Amino acid sequence: MKVWMGFVFCAGLLVGCTSPEDRIFFDGQFYNSKLRKVDRQLDQFVVTVRPVSKSLEGAREAGRYEATVYCVNAFGSSDIIWIAGPDAADDQLNIEKDTLTLRGNCPSAR
């Protein structure tokens, strides 16, 4: 049982790793981007991107990319209706603790 649990733990760690050659860079930097659905609704999402301090423009594009990949994979379209999107003015962006937060939805879901 302990061996099995150790194997499952190690496999989980490996799944979460991205090899250096598979990383996508924005404005010459790599960003941690995470997307989650809002209240279990598949069409609504929140994307967080960090660290913004590397480059605001790169963080914007990393968030846009994460959202686009999600909408294409989930709904077959790259269309996004942004609620708080990457094209907003700098002072309108939601940035806290070096993390950019974007919100939107995939309109094809309706």
Q: How many residues are present in the chain? A: 110
- Structural domain contains residue 9: no
Share of the chain above pLDDT 70, in %: 78
Looking at per-residue pLDDT, the higher value among 49 and 26 belongs to 49
pTM of the model: 0.78
- Structural domain contains residue 1: no
Looking at per-residue pLDDT, the higher value among 106 and 10 belongs to 106
Strands (E) in the chain, as ranges, are: 32-38, 41-50, 81-84, 94-96, 99-105
pLDDT given at position 22: 74
pLDDT digits (tens, 9 = 90+) for 54-106: 999 999 999 999 999 999 999 999 999 999 999 999 999 999 999 999 999 99
pLDDT given at position 20: 62
Q: Which helix (H) or strand (E) holds 36?
A: strand 32-38
Tell me which residue range forms the domain holding 61: 20-109
- Structural domain contains residue 53: yes
CA distance 90 to 79: 23
- Structural domain contains residue 6: no
pLDDT given at position 66: 98
DSSP 8-state code for residue 49: E
- Structural domain contains residue 99: yes
| Whether residue 3 has pLDDT greater than 80 | no
Q: Which helix (H) or strand (E) holds 75?
A: helix 56-75
Task: Work out the number of other CB atoms within 10 angstroms of the CB of residue 84.
Answer: 15
At residue 15, the 3 state secondary structure works out as helix
Task: Report residue 28's pLDDT band, with 50, 70 and 90 as the boundaries.
Answer: confident
- Structural domain contains residue 35: yes
Per the structure, how many domains does the chain have? 1
- Structural domain contains residue 3: no
